Structure formats: structure tokens, C-alpha cells
Amino acid sequence: MTRASPRRRVRTILVMFFRYVADYKWVASFGLPLNKGISVTKVLTSLFILFTVSSVSRANDLGCDTLYPLMNGFLAQHLTFKKFTPELEQRSINQFVKNLDPSKLYLMEGDVTKIKSDMSDLFSKMSGKKCDALDNAQKLYEKRVSESQEYAKKVLSDTFKLDENTSIILDPAKRTYAKTVGELQDLQGRYIQFQISNYLTSDMKLEEAKKQLLHRYEVTLKHVTESKSDDLYAIFLDSFATALDPHSNFLSKDVLEDFEITMRLSLEGIGATLSSQDGYTVVENLIPGGAAAKSGEIEPKDKIISVAQGTSNKFEPVIDMPLRDVVKLIRGKKGTKVKLTVLRQGKTVTKHVVELTRDKIDLKDEAAKLSYIEKTINNKKMKIGVIDLPSFYSDSDNGERSCSEDVKKLIIEANAHKVDGMILDLSKNGGGVLGEAVRVAGLFIKKGNVVETQDSDGRVENLADLDSAIYYSGPLVVLTSRLSASASEIVAGALQDYKRAVIIGSDHTFGKGSVQAVMKLRNDLGAIKVTTGMFFTPGGDSTQEKGVASDVRIPSPYTSKEFSEDALDYALPKKSLPSFISPEGNDLTSVSHYIPLTPSLISDLQKDSKTRISKDKEFAKIETELKESESKNGVVKLADIMKKSMEATKEKKAKKKVKGKDGEDPDYLTQPAMKEAANILGDLVTLEQKQMTIANKTGDN
């Protein structure tokens, strides 16, 4: 074979360089172009690694020879890890075992010990293109799944009866691996009882339920035995990625397709971001304007345990089903129906069926909305403007709307109605385009720095509001929760640092303060998503791990640990930078009806709110349910689940929730958090007016 000339080889590499740069783009939650926060050296290093991968494996499948180069690709870009270490190896092995048997229903403690022992010195073996440890782990897993099917056949015999007194810990994170075959079969028997109860609560007869469940076991075994080696290698690569941090991932071809559809918000389906956790398909976020959000019957962290098509009541169990297969069941053409059985952890575990009509997500459906609340405080009528901003959206490439322009128009409208104060609701805003978040924050300050990002080389990029116009300068409250993440935390943190707004919510926001980049791989191998930087608010604190702390705390159903970055495996610790607050940011001296927030003023707001909350029945109910849920430590009884499920179904039939125009929730302004936010804002208006009166009198003297 004739070797290519040096000139031709250079030309080939340059062509590849520009192809990869075209593929390399920031995730929408960050919204920066390639030349922001990433060095050419890093890109060239990654391109060399990926060029090596494409030359080694020319097929459209992952091979053992591709793993080590791709792992190097992650390390070349990652914020924290730069080389292979014993700690990273152990993390990767732990994640692989967890991903191999996420529900802990098949492997025993001895199996896990053997797999981990076989995988010792794993990185060194992979550098030599040896993947026997992975293949052997898969074979052992196949053996245990086959044994589980045989045991299920014995249990689901003619003598099987549902035992409603069965109790089970559904969350695998709260269970240990079975030590013996007897312990394992006891767990599997309890799980079979739980699965049968799911069928029976969907009006299926016992014999049909047994038949369906046995078929499900057959399908599971077939899927495991027929899975290809590249599926196994994809599991390991994703395990390696999540060992770096929770938001780095390996995206296989199918997963990448789903990821890109979600980023474009053009998914024809239920309008929800799904993830796979411990064998369950979990609702991460609801896309505003989507069928799930409009239904009012699905919430973040709900677990989807079975799916039925159209008006059929033949539900297919999806526990332990690969996420991409679950997505395929849920996705469908606009106008068609899908039914989901949803498991929700609250005071008790409840289960209910939701019927949704699939629809296409459009930006107009998730647009910011303005509402008004009228209150009387100290015999004075007040009008409060409420801006509900569900995400930081933008479609500027197509000349369409952006959230910053929409919010600006709503502020102008609110000012025309002479509102006494405003609430910016970010309580269910999971993020979006960072540039839009910077512009939204800029509507409330004069001008100045809003956010900085720092990469692994310590280089800092600054994004600032350069528009000196202040569109609203009056009393402002930002409503948050642990669902508020990423770009939402930037806005809340910036307005807090500039003492421009009172932050109200649960103890803190989610804590997603990291930056990810996505690089597509050649040969249709998928993509790597890797954490490359961290966000910092003007005060110098990162929003990572602990998010933005609330100035005034209120009880929230989303206060449990699962709604937090620090609950995720290997979450990155928060960092700090020197403060970069701009002096002109909160310089509103020309505005007569504004007083900067002070610790004394915040303290007064906290006291008054605490007094109200202590007498509020709705908040008391929220706190009671949280305490009862924590006290059970994950143990649930089938009788309780089935009883609550039937009660929920009856209540749903008796009182169908009616949506307003554009899918608006008619109860939105009367929810406990919103009512208390309005009360706090009313207090803020009153306190500021008193201080202004005192200041004016002092000035006159």
C-alpha cells in the first residue's frame, strides 16, 4: 500500500479538523460557541484521539480497541480529571456494576465481589485492548437473569396468589445485594408480587397478569442474551463518564438521537426529559407546553413503570428496560394516545395511570406569561405582577422569539398597569440558553457582570449585561425550588449578589453549576458529553452542588434529597473565585422607588414569613408528608400502594382538572408557594415604603 504524501496527510487532518469543529457544539444549557472557554490545543488533542478511534474501528460498532482512546478523549476535556488514577478506576468499576444490574435483582454480593476482583488493573488491561473482564461480567449477568426467569416460572404457578401484605424496598439505593440464593429469591418473590399488583390495578385479571409478566421475563432474557458487545462497551463507556461526574456521558447512536431531539424541542411525544436510574425510567424535567406538563398529572422524579398504547389497557412493564426502548414506546405521532403507569414517592408510594395525547413541542407553548395578584395589606390595595418563566428559550436562528424579549415586553406591560411589586417565578425552570439568562438578569440591573465560567486550565470567561437600561427597578422577589437548575441559578444568584431581589424557596436550588460540551464521533459511534467548566455568580461562588441559598425558606414538596445535585454519584464540589460584582450593577440612585436590600430587611421578612407558615395548614401538610416519607426509609406495602392507587383513580374521575387557555393551570396563583411569595413581596413593599418615608424626612431636615 502506498503511503500518502506529507502534504496529503496534512490536508486530510485539516479536513477532519473542520469536520469535527462543525460537530463540536455547546449544549443549549450553556449556549456558548466553540471559541468560548476551550483552547485550540484541547480541540486538537481530542481530534487526534478521535482520529485514532476512527482509524482503529471502521465499523459502526464500538470495539474493545476503541474504549481506551475514547476514555482519553474524555480526560482531554474534563474539568477535574486529567489522567487515569486508581480512584477513577474504582469509580468506573462501581458505576459499571451499578449499570449492569441497576435494580439489584439479579447479582448477589459474591457476584459483585468477583466482578470487581476480575476488573482489577482494568485501565492497564484496556490500554492493551483486553476486555475479558467486561465480557465475563456480562456472561455472569446473563446466567443470573436466566435463573431469575426459571424462578419466576415456579412462583407464578397455578397456586400463586397476590399477598397484599408484602412489603418491599423499591429503591435499590436503599437495599444491599443479596448474600445468598435464598435472600435473592425472597427479594425476587416480593418483586413479582409488586409487578402483579401493577397489572391488577389496571383492571387486568390475575391469569392474564401472570401470563403478561412471564412474557416480560422472556423478553428481558432475550434482550440480555441477544445484546451485542458494543452495547456492553457503551455501558462501560457511560460508566467511565459518570465516574468523572454526573453530567458527563457517553451517548450511543440511539441515545444521541434522543438527546438531539430533546435539545431541538421538536419531540413528538409527551414532552418530558427521561433518564434511567436504578432500573426505573424517571421523569427528570417537564418541557413547558408538552402533553405531560399540560396534564398536571406528572411531576419530576415520577417513575414510569409501564406503558400502554392508545386506549388499550395492555400495559407493558418497563422496569429494567433500556431507556431507548422505553422512549420508543412513549414517542409517537402527534394526536395519538399513550397511557403511563406512574409511581410517585410522597407520604406513601402512590401509583396512578395517566393518559396523554402526544403532541409536538413549540416554543410558543413554553413562552413566559404574566399574571396579576391583587392583595390588601394594612388597608392598602396592592397589585403584584407575576412572570412565570418555565425555561430560558431562544429560537433566534430562525428569527423567532426569545425569552429575554418576551420578559421585557411583559415587564413593560406590568409597569403600564402600575404594579407595586413583581414576582419572577423560576421554581420549575430547569435552565436553557445561558445568553438568554444573562439578558433576563440584565432587565433588572443597570449593567454589569452576570456570570463567569472557568475551565480546567483556569481560564475565565465573563458574560455581562451591557445594556444600561433598567426595565424594572421596584420590589422584586424570585421564586425558586430544588427544580430550579443551571441557567435559573445564574439569574437567581446574580440578582441576589446585586441585592436586587429576595430569593424565596426551599433551602436551595438544585446545584447544577457545571458546563458540558458534546462532541460527535465519526463512523456513527455516537458522541461524548463531557463537563468542561463551572459557573460562578458575581459574588464569586459557584452554583455547583449547593445551588443558590434562599433568603426566605418555605416548605416545599421538592425538599427531599433526590432533588439535589449532591445526591448524584460523584458530584463535583463547589469552588469559589474572587468577587466580580460590578459597582454600577445595583446603582439605581436615579430611581425613586427602590431601596437596596439589607440584612436587617431580609431578617424582618424571614420573621413575618415564619409566623405565617406556622399557622398555614397547607404548609403543615407538606412538612408532615416529607417527615413520614423519610421515616419509612423506602419500605412500602402493596396494600398501601393499591389502596392509594384506587383512591387516586376515584378522585381523578370525580374531579377532572380543568385547564385554562393555553394549558394554564387555574390554581397556579393559589398554590401555597405562590401565595407566600405574594405575602413576602407585600411585606417587602411595605418595609421599603417605610424606609423611604424615613429617608425622605431625614433628607428634609
The predicted-structure confidence for 389-426, as pLDDT tens digits, reads as follows 988 988 655 556 789 999 999 999 999 999 999 999 99
More confident residue, 690 or 13: 690
> Residue 586's pLDDT is what?
66
Q: Are 178 and 184 in contact (CB under 8 A)?
A: yes
> Residue 624's pLDDT is what?
87
> Residue 181's pLDDT is what?
97
Q: Are 551 and 507 in contact (CB under 8 A)?
A: no
How many angstroms separate the CA atoms of 230 and 63, rounded? 6
Amino acid sitting at position 686? T
Residue with C-alpha cell 429469591? 185
Domains in the chain: ranges and CATH: 86-244 (no CATH), 266-360 (2.30.42.10), 366-509+536-653+671-691 (3.90.226.10)
Q: Tell me the three state secondary structure of residue 688.
A: helix
More confident residue, 438 or 173: 438
Which of 230-244, 484-498, 548-562 is predicted least confidently?
A: 548-562
Alpha carbons within 13 angstroms on the beta-carbon side of residue 161 total 4
> Residue 408's pLDDT is what?
97
Q: How far is CA 411 from CA 263, 440, 443, in A?
A: 28, 11, 9
Q: What would the grid cell of residue 225 be?
A: 442474551
- Mean pLDDT on 637-659: 61
Mean predicted lDDT score pLDDT of the chain:
83
> Residue 47's pLDDT is what?
44
- Give 594's pLDDT tier (boundaries 50, 70, 90): low
Q: What's the whole-model pTM score? A: 0.83
Q: How far is CA 671 from CA 427, 618, 676, in A?
A: 12, 9, 9
How many angstroms separate the CA atoms of 387 and 368, rounded? 7
- Give 270's pLDDT tier (boundaries 50, 70, 90): confident
655 CB-contact burial (10 Å; exposed 0-12 / middle 13-18 / buried 19+): exposed
> Residue 33's pLDDT is what?
29
- Give 111's pLDDT tier (boundaries 50, 70, 90): very high
How many angstroms separate the CA atoms of 320 and 314, rounded? 18
Q: Is the pLDDT of residue 491 over 60?
A: yes
- Mean pLDDT on 158-167: 92
163 membership: H or E segment, kind and range: none
244 CB-contact burial (10 Å; exposed 0-12 / middle 13-18 / buried 19+): buried
> Residue 21's pLDDT is what?
31
* pLDDT tens digits for range 305-357: 889 998 787 888 888 788 888 888 888 888 899 999 888 876 667 788 899 99
Percent of the chain with pLDDT over 70: 81
How many angstroms separate the CA atoms of 502 and 499, rounded? 8
Q: Tell me the three state secondary structure of residue 517.
A: strand
Taking 3-state DSSP, the helix, strand and coil percentages for the chain, each rounded to the nearest 5, stand at 45, 20, 35
How many angstroms separate the CA atoms of 132 and 33, rounded? 41
Q: What would the grid cell of residue 272 be?
A: 418530558
- Give 123's pLDDT tier (boundaries 50, 70, 90): very high
> Residue 589's pLDDT is what?
56
Q: What would the grid cell of residue 564 be?
A: 439535589
How many angstroms separate the CA atoms of 7 and 566, rounded? 51
Q: Is the pLDDT of residue 531 over 60?
A: yes
User: At residue 240, what are phi and psi to the nearest 5 degrees?
Assistant: -60, -45
More confident residue, 564 or 51: 564
More confident residue, 360 or 369: 369
> Residue 38's pLDDT is what?
41
The DSSP code for 540 is S
> Residue 60's pLDDT is what?
60
* pLDDT tens digits for range 127-152: 999 999 999 999 999 999 999 999 99
User: At residue 363, what are phi and psi to the nearest 5 degrees?
Assistant: -60, -35
661 CB-contact burial (10 Å; exposed 0-12 / middle 13-18 / buried 19+): exposed
Q: How far is CA 620 from CA 69, 350, 556, 557, 615, in A?
A: 55, 20, 10, 11, 8
The end-to-end CA distance of the chain, in Å, is 96
| Long-range pairs, 90-93, Cβ under 8 A, ≥24 | 91/243, 91/570, 92/122, 92/236, 92/239, 92/240, 92/243, 93/119, 93/122
- Mean pLDDT on 442-463: 92
- Mean pLDDT on 474-498: 95
Q: What would the grid cell of residue 135 be?
A: 465480557
Per-range mean pLDDT, top range of 332-336, 370-374, 654-658: 370-374
Q: With the CA atoms of 48, 52, 58 and 60 taken in that order, what torsion angle do they form, in degrees rounded to the nearest 10?
A: -70
> Residue 3's pLDDT is what?
42
How many angstroms separate the CA atoms of 311 and 383, rounded? 46
> Residue 649's pLDDT is what?
56
- Mean pLDDT on 175-203: 91
> Residue 584's pLDDT is what?
79
> Residue 254's pLDDT is what?
78
Q: Which of 441, 493, 489, 485 is nearest to 467 (CA)?
A: 441
Q: Are 448 and 585 in contact (CB under 8 A)?
A: yes
Beta bridge partners of 448: 465
Q: Is the pLDDT of residue 234 over 70?
A: yes
How many angstroms separate the CA atoms of 426 and 550, rounded? 13
Q: Is the pLDDT of residue 642 over 90?
A: no
Percent of the chain with pLDDT over 90: 51
Which of 322-331, 352-361, 381-390, 647-656 is predicted least confidently?
A: 647-656
How many angstroms separate the CA atoms of 8 and 121, rounded? 40
- Give 25's pLDDT tier (boundaries 50, 70, 90): very low
More confident residue, 364 or 445: 445
Q: Which of 227, 246, 279, 318 is nearest to 104 (CA)?
A: 279
- Mean pLDDT on 243-259: 87
